[in-house]
Amino acid sequence: MAISMYQVSVPRFIHTLGNLSKIFDKAEAYAEQKKLDPSVLPNARLYPDMLPLTAQVQIACDAAKGAAARLAGIPIPAFEDDEKTIADLKARIDKTVKFLETLKPAQIDGSEDKELVIKVGGKDTPYKGMTFLLGRSIPNFYFHVTTAYDILRHNGVDVGKRDYIGTV
């Protein structure tokens, strides 16, 4: 049975970003309860040389919309990287999901062997569609979503595996 490039990408991106948005609902409630300055959580990091929560969410959203758009052969929507609050991050997630919801399976299915050239570390890197999706885009997406989750958990937000996975 052939893999559906659409089914292993767009619905999974939408589902996981929806879970991340719900996690941010808990983060907002936590910040209000603890009377945290609104900039504390968005600027939080796991380690000083790691990117902050804001960047983790930006990169996760960019990975999802970038993978889907490249495989569909359409322009990647450009979002400003100007989020400062949890509400801003939730809005970025929402914009990403809204874009993903416009895509149809026929736009992405059949892209397994599509020739793609992606800048990696400033260098053009060639990929076939399936290798790009399964070997680069999906792992990159989950890395940054997981890191966002970890930053919030590390800072005391009461979330767990059920929040991360949600209902499949």
Q: Would you mind telling me the total number of residues written for the chain in this entry?
A: 168
The mean pLDDT value for 59-66 works out to 98
Place 3 in a pLDDT band, splitting at 50, 70 and 90. confident
At residue 2, the pLDDT reads 78
115-133 residue pLDDT tens: 999 998 999 999 999 999 9
pLDDT(168) > 80: no
Percent of the chain with pLDDT over 70: 99
Question: What six digits make up the tokens of 70?
Answer: 């490249």
pLDDT reading at 1 higher than 60: no
pLDDT tops 90 at residue 103: yes
pTM to 2 decimals?
A: 0.96
Query: Residues 134-151: pLDDT tens digits?
Result: 999 999 999 999 999 999
Q: Collect contacts of 92-98 with beta carbons under 8 A, ≥24 apart.
A: 92/57, 92/58, 92/61, 93/17, 93/20, 93/21, 93/24, 93/57, 93/61, 94/21, 95/61, 96/13, 96/17, 96/61, 96/64, 96/65, 97/14, 97/17, 97/18, 97/21
Domains and CATH numbers, the chain: 10-160 (1.20.120.450)
Provide mean pLDDT across the span 67-92: 97
